[in-house]
Structure 1
Amino acid sequence: MKTSLRLLLLLPLLVLGACSDVGSAVDDVASSAGTRAGCEVAGRAVDEGRGLVDRVGQEISGDAAGVRRELAAAGTAIEAAAPTLTGEVRALVDRAAAALSTLRDEAESAAAGSAVDERAVQAAQSEYDRASDQLRSLC
């Protein structure tokens, strides 16, 4: 009788523990699915901008206004994806967006007649590439 009573008293604890494990597993699956979906959206947006970022240094002096428009469009695409993202994926997309913003500012200055700051362009290109590579590794 005492054994039965002990088992009855332990049963709610076992059930709660199992529920906790199930809840944790569900949270992990949901988080993983969210990361995969975020990676898909972010990866597409960042990859589309990568070719542009790679050629900015060559084209900014010749067609700064055109480069600025392309960078603005790429930035808009990345910024549109950002609100749906969280965690590391969001941080990497924010870094890529900041690099695009720097490049866009340089193109705008060049279009207005200022000299292109090659160091700023190269630094922004490198930052974009690092963020893109890290996003690809994460996803």
Structure 2
Amino acid sequence: MASVEREDWLPPGWIVEGRVRSSGASAGSRDKYFIEPITGRRFRSKKEVRYYLETGEVRKKPKKNPDNSPEKGTKSPPLNFNFEDVPDTVKWVRTGSSEGWTPFINGQEVPESSKRDWAAAFEFLALKSSWRPTF
């Protein structure tokens, strides 16, 4: 975290902070943050700061997928999972200390490919509906 030279367009007291990303595909890239002095609220862009200065409000991010239509960059449903023919009963059996639990349907172990399809379908549904399991 380093202080960056103050921008001319910012009101007095605002802080400009520079950070270098330390991991991921963009490691080494620099990010600039604008920090409001009273609240400490952090903004990532000049556009966000200008909106805040003009309205006194933080711009709300648009809701993801308001009409349940696929968005650019979102995953489509897993192709091999039949959402209409979900098994009525799955029996989970502990198969070993390091292997975890194995699903069985009608006494037969579920193939690894089906387990991957289930996982992909679960992830798709969880992301699509913001549903999270409760334990």
TM-score, normalized by length of structure 1? 0.27
Higher strand share: 2
Q: Which has the higher contact order (CA 8 A, sep 6+)?
A: 1
